[in-house]
């Protein structure tokens, strides 16, 4: 049966939620009550409220994917899949209800979507692996998803992000069976992105995280340690010993997923710093005495140890990776293109995008958000990780760091560096490639940058932004430049 009266927009909205995909996967084995569905998927979906599941079930009933009936035997309302011939293509925004006679496809219009995404709650902006580790300056996954759809990128494309950051573009491309390539000068950022997109044996990962947590609690506080000046300044002596012990646990054991454990330790270190709660990103000096906390409106105390964050972040990190894994497993059943998520190619290079020559051909699209001039020191925000794991310190090669300011000299250097990036990009991508650049260009520097690197601006979208992660950050607007080769 072809559901001709069904609006394609409604079907897409009904299936765009990770929760709804998990629900459909849960019902593959037969009808279930709402409470049975909740018990089945709540852990993987990260949902504690039954009402959320009920609303998702009713939405799927509304768009005729599920049906509900009262069962006389169990005396409960049971939900089941109504249309078991649905094919969902996340790659080009196609929804198809088909039988052997009907192969028609409808498309949706992406022109009128509010790209501020101001109504998207914070937990959706940091869903599954997107919230694996705090990171200043990343763009939200909903924007990447929008740009993939707007440009109709598909599994035939390869998408490049020359300023990969924490890997948002890579994650969203992989979720749509699109191969991707990321360039990033920060070694920590590359590690974080790899952890977000890697494939995992979930059972093995859980075993290793549990083993790591158990061993990390066995700290010898009587042992003398030798730490850097930075660690001495920003962590209590107790926290220093605990963090170094965690690092040694990773070094001394043959874990398959060492990188995941490093991200857990990095997250613990971030929370254990001697910083006021209201200023985790901006504090210039450590706090070692009680202080009035503007965030909690009461007197707070410096963080005395790191071990108290161990269980929380071990548990949360595993759940986030498990959620992404479960979403991929569920979505594999809807995408019929001969691929699975395990064989999607994600190539990540810790290199300088001004000069690195990619060993990858056929780049057909770019989605990126370059560093804003004079806003963030990208290495310095994760300095604790560089100190603990001896990552290569490439701060001097950052483009437009906060520490260089935003004066005339800094602006000229920024434009010079960005022209080099896009000239290098020009020689790498296909002639018809679509380049999407998200940037807060209040000084209107990018038209000149594109012109001098032989790109032409096709369209400019204005995107209002509300920062939610900092008390200091005001509302502002950024531009989405859509450009192509001249």
Q: E strand or H helix at 314, and its extent?
A: helix 310-332
Q: Do both 170 and 286 map to the same domain?
A: no
Q: Do both 101 and 151 map to the same domain?
A: no
Tell me, what's the pLDDT at 1?
Answer: 32
Q: Do both 413 and 294 map to the same domain?
A: no
| CA 186 to centroid of chain Cα atoms | 16
Instruction: Give 475 or 94, the one with higher predicted confidence.
Output: 475
Q: Do both 267 and 152 map to the same domain?
A: no
Q: What is the pLDDT of residues 8-53, one digit of tens each?
A: 445 545 555 667 777 877 887 789 998 888 888 877 666 677 877 8
Q: Do both 236 and 312 map to the same domain?
A: yes
Tell me, what's the pLDDT at 9?
Answer: 45
Structural domain boundaries enclosing 23: 8-107
The CATH number assigned to the domain holding 328 equals 3.40.50.150
Q: Is residue 457 part of a domain?
A: yes
Give me 362's structure tokens.
């056929």
What is the rounded distance in angstroms from the CA atom of residue 167 to the CA atom of residue 184?
9
What is the rounded distance in angstroms from the CA atom of residue 41 to the CA atom of residue 320?
14
Q: What is the pLDDT of residues 282-324, one digit of tens each?
A: 778 899 999 898 888 899 999 999 999 999 999 999 999 998 9
Q: Do both 185 and 211 map to the same domain?
A: no
* Beta-carbon contacts of residue 84 (< 8 Å; ≥ 6 apart): none
Query: What's the number of domains the chain is made of?
Result: 3
Tell me, what's the pLDDT at 406?
Answer: 92
Q: Is residue 356 part of a domain?
A: yes
Q: What is the pLDDT of residues 98-139, one digit of tens each?
A: 333 333 333 444 556 788 888 878 878 888 999 999 998 888
What's the length of the chain? 486
Q: Is residue 115 part of a domain?
A: no
Q: Is 89 helix (H, G, I), strand (E, B) or coil?
A: strand
**Residue where a domain stops, chosen among 300, 316, 332:** 316
Mean pLDDT of the region 262-281: 92
Mark residue 9 as left, alpha or beta (left: phi above 0; alpha: psi -120 to 50; beta: remaining): alpha
Whether 246 and 216 have beta carbons less than 8 Å apart is answered as yes
The CATH number assigned to the domain holding 30 equals 1.10.10.10
Q: Sheet containing 476-485: which strands, arranged edge to edge?
A: 346-349, 179-183, 158-161, 363-368, 429-439, 476-485, 455-465
Q: Phi and psi for 93 in degrees, rounded to 5?
A: 60, 40
Q: Is residue 130 part of a domain?
A: yes
96: pLDDT strictly greater than 70: no
The angle at the Cα of 382, spanning 381 to 384, to the nearest 5 degrees, equals 125
Instruction: Give 164 or 105, the one with higher predicted confidence.
Output: 164
Q: E strand or H helix at 5, and its extent?
A: none
Average pLDDT, the chain: 85
Q: Do both 348 and 437 map to the same domain?
A: yes
Q: Which of 421, 480, 478, 453 is nearest to 163 (CA)?
A: 421
pTM score, two decimals? Answer: 0.81
Q: Do both 253 and 397 map to the same domain?
A: no
First to last CA, the chain: 48
């Amino acid at each position: 049966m072809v559901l001709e009266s069904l609006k394609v927009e409604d079907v897409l909205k009904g299936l765009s939620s990770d929760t709804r995909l998990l629900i459909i996967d849960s019902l593959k084995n037969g009808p279930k009550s709402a409470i049975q569905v909740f018990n089945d998927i709540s852990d993987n979906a990260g949902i504690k409220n039954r009402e959320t599941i009920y609303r998702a079930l009713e939405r799927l009933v509304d768009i005729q994917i599920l049906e509900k009936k009262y069962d006389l035997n169990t005396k409960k309302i049971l939900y089941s899949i109504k249309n078991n011939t649905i094919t969902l293509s996340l790659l080009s925004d196609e929804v198809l209800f088909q039988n052997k006679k009907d192969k028609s496809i409808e498309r949706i219009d992406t022109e009128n979507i509010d790209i501020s995404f101001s109504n998207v709650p914070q937990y959706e902006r940091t869903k599954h692996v997107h919230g694996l580790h705090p990171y200043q300056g990343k763009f939200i996954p909903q924007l990447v998803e929008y740009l993939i759809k707007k440009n109709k990128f598909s599994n035939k494309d390869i998408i490049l992000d020359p300023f990969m950051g924490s890997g948002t573009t890579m994650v969203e491309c992989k979720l749509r069976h699109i191969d991707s390539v990321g360039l990033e000068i920060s070694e920590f950022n590359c590690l974080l992105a790899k952890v977000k997109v890697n494939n995992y044996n979930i059972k093995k990962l859980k075993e290793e995280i549990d083993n790591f947590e158990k061993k990390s609690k066995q700290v010898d506080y009587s042992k003398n340690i030798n730490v850097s000046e930075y660690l001495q300044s920003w962590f209590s002596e107790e926290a220093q010993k605990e963090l170094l012990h965690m690092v040694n646990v990773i070094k001394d054991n043959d874990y398959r997923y060492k990188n995941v454990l490093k991200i857990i330790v990095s997250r613990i270190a971030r929370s254990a710093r001697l910083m006021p709660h209201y200023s985790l990103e901006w504090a210039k000096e450590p706090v070692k005495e009680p202080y009035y906390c503007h965030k909690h409106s009461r007197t707070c105390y410096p963080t005395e140890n790191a071990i108290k964050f161990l269980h929380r972040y071990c548990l949360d990190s595993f759940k986030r990776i498990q959620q992404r894994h479960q979403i991929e497993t569920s979505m594999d059943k809807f995408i019929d293109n001969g691929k699975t998520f395990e064989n999607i190619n994600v190539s990540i290079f810790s290199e300088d995008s001004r000069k690195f020559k990619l060993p990858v051909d056929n780049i057909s699209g770019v989605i990126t958000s370059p560093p804003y001039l004079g806003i963030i020191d990208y290495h310095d925000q994760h300095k604790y990780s560089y100190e603990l794991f001896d990552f290569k310190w490439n701060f001097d090669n950052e483009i437009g760091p906060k520490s260089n300011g935003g004066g005339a000299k800094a602006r000229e250097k920024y434009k010079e560096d960005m022209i080099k990036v896009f000239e290098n990009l020009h020689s790498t991508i296909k002639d018809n490639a679509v380049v999407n650049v998200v940037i807060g260009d209040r000084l209107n520097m990018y038209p000149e940058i594109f012109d001098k690197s032989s790109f032409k601006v096709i369209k400019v979208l204005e995107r209002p932004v509300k920062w939610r992660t900092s008390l200091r950050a005001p509302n502002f607007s950024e531009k989405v430049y859509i450009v192509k080769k001249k």
